[in-house]
Amino acid sequence: MIDIKNVNKKFGKLHVLKDISVQIKKSNSVALLGPNASGKTTFIKCLLGMLIPDSGTIEINNQSIKGDYKYRNIIGYMPQIGRYPQNMTIEQVFDMILEIRKTALSSADTELMEAFGLKALFSKRMGTLSGGTTQKVSACLAFLFSPEIIILDEPTAGLDPLSSEILKEKIKHERSKGKIILITSHILSELDEMVSEIMYLREGNLVFHSGIEELQSRTGEKSVSKVITSILKTL
């Protein structure tokens, strides 16, 4: 469970997160939506400990994350832009992260890796890979350790339709296992079936956070994109 209370973050004069309080319970898949510069990535980075909030507390499974790094053992993260050292091979990248996580490849979740056919490219240098393949590597790294919490920042941007379908299937599959999934995306139509809750940020404020069914009954619409547009009209 993720419990966030009154988190504020400022970059100089810019107030990026304004008093955000959210609770995300197990087995929930949350879509983190909002226009550009609304604080989505900042929110994710606070969860990951990459940014230290100015005030407020973040607790994961009832434990404050402040000053800790071991809690990240249960988090898988796929960044928006993945860039790796040019001369490192895919295998070396995996090997390195496996060591940090103290896991052997044999006991890791390689389902996605096999679906993407990355094993065949293991000896390729990261510098020679296309943007999409690099994105696949990032996606595999996020799922490799069967984490309890999976954070995906624009996961399907740059992936071809087939691969993004594979990734979406994997996300649904993991959600059915009771994991917490946090996705940011600008492509609302792909979020149907993937998410159970929607969090909407605007200019650092949490506009709403509620279950998808509730939103559907409130607006009378079915798909995520229609739900969002009709809510935004009423605001």
Residue closer to other proteins, measured from CB, 5 or 101 = 101
The span from the CA of 35 to the CA of 189, in Å, is 16
CB of 8 to other proteins, least distance (A): 14
Q: Is 157 in the site for other proteins (CB under 8 A)?
A: no
| Single-letter amino acid, residue 73 | N
CA–CA–CA angle 34, 231, 46 (5° rounding): 25
The footprint of other proteins on residues 55-74 (CB under 8 A) is 69-73
Chain residues 101-120 in contact with other proteins, contact rule CB under 8 A: 101
Exposed, middle or buried, 98 (CB in 10 Å: 0-12/13-18/19+)?
A: middle
Q: Judged by CB under 8 A, does residue 231 bind other proteins?
A: no
The minimum distance between CB 91 and other proteins, in angstroms, equals 10
Q: Report the alpha-carbon distance of residue 103 to residue 140 in Å, rounded.
A: 14
* Bridge partners of residue 149, in order along the sequence: 75, 180
Nearest to other proteins of 33, 141 (CB atom): 141
**Which residue among 79, 155, 158, 204 contacts other proteins (CB under 8 A)?**
79
CA–CA distance, 86 with 83 (Å, rounded to integer):
8
Could you please report the per-residue DSSP string of 71-129?
A: GGGGEEEE-SS----TT-BHHHHHHHHHHHTT--GGGS--HHHHHHT-GGGTTSBGGGS
Q: Does 87 bind other proteins (CB under 8 A)?
A: yes
Q: Does 95 bind other proteins (CB under 8 A)?
A: yes
Residue where the block lists tokens 């296992």: 177
Member of 14, 50, 162, 187 binding other proteins (CB under 8 A): 50
Q: Residue 92 or 216: which CB sits closer to other proteins?
A: 92
Among 99, 114, 213, 214, binds other proteins (CB under 8 A): 99
In the complex, what is the shortest distance from the CB of residue 58 to other proteins, in angstroms, rounded to a whole number?
A: 14
Q: How far is the CB of 30 from other proteins (least distance, A)?
A: 18
Provide the CA 225 distance to its chain's centre, in angstroms. Answer: 19
For other proteins, the binding residues in 177-216 under the rule CB under 8 A are none
Given a contact cutoff of 8 angstroms between Cβ atoms, the answer to whether 143 and 76 are in contact is: yes
Give the footprint of other proteins on this chain (CB under 8 A). Answer: 11, 45, 48-52, 69-73, 75, 77, 79, 81-88, 92-93, 95-97, 99-101, 138, 141
